[in-house]
Amino acid sequence: MTSTLIFFGMTAAAAIAASASPLVNLNTASSFGLLGGTISNTGTSVIYGDVGVKDGSGTIIGFNPTGTTVGGTVFSPGAVASDNAFTDFVSAFSATQLLASTQTYADLTLSRTFVGNNVYTFVPTDISTTSGINLTFDAQNDPNEIFVIRTNGALTVNGAMTFTLANQALAKNIFWIVGTDATISVGSSGPITFAGSILAGGSITISAASGGSGVLAGTINGCLFAETANTLAGTTDVTGCGAEITPEPGTAGLVGFGGLLGLLAWRTRSPVNPKT
């Protein structure tokens, strides 16, 4: 009997470990839309949340009045709040580097589906996307599932790409962990809507669509944190770490129906505890 209990206990523990959500704890950085060693903006970007740099040696260019914030503050270099937030960002970035990979890929040139509560690592040093691909994030009807997409080196987005958030996936739970520099360059493809927060060990550059400074580069449904330079080379709307994207048409109905079936199954199988 004892050995049986031990066996089931070990099995349950293994199941819990296997399904555990990868932790990305931004702590005080979660109130920021932009963090960097330096920050530069050349268009009428709108940032939801705070904007700050790592310490008094950093610079912030292109805000008030060019770039604006919603529900946040552009902190002067050396402010305690932004110093602490930057430290928390670096801690979170370092912690994600230690997460075990669930699956590895050689490239990001094809459309792919990522399933929640997994850590996907691209093993080559630098990764570039191909224009026209679609990335699907499937949360398996659990809006709390976390997606970690990690590159060892640089990430470059070349041209248009689309995102599908399926089965209650939320942009605020998608984290792009970029080993060095992250660049989103859409060129003549037009503005991009990018799902997820980008945490970069180097710089982040969001290039404007053809037309240069001031032209809409796109919308980042997440936050942008870079250890060195964070550059919005045009107009970029950053919706912050709590960003959410409306599900694809038809997804919400399917999710609601699935949730109803789950509730009915739980009510059927769960014992009724009479009141005492």
What is the pTM for the complete model shown?
Answer: 0.82
Q: Please report the pLDDT score of residue 50 as a whole number.
A: 98
pLDDT tens figures, 12-23 = 333 333 446 788
**Range from 56-65, 153-162, 207-216 carrying the lowest mean pLDDT:** 207-216
Would you list the DSSP string of the chain? -HHHHHHHHHHHHHHHHHHPPPP---GGGGGEEEEESEEEE-S--EEESEEEESSTT--EESBTTTBEEES--BPPTT-HHHHHHHHHHHHHHHHHHTSPPSEEES-B-S-EEEESSEEEEE-SS-EEB-TT-EEEEE-TT-TT--EEEEESS-EEEES--EEEEETT--GGGEEEEESS-EEEE-GGG--EEEESEEEESS-EEEEPPTT-TTSEEEEEES-EEESSEEEEESEEEE--TT---PPPTTHHHHHHHHHHHHHHHHHHHSPP----
Identify the band that residue 249 occupies on the pLDDT scale cut at 50, 70 and 90.
Answer: very low
Query: pLDDT tens-digit profile of 189-232?
Result: 778 899 999 999 999 999 876 555 667 788 999 999 999 999 99
Residue 5, pLDDT score:
39
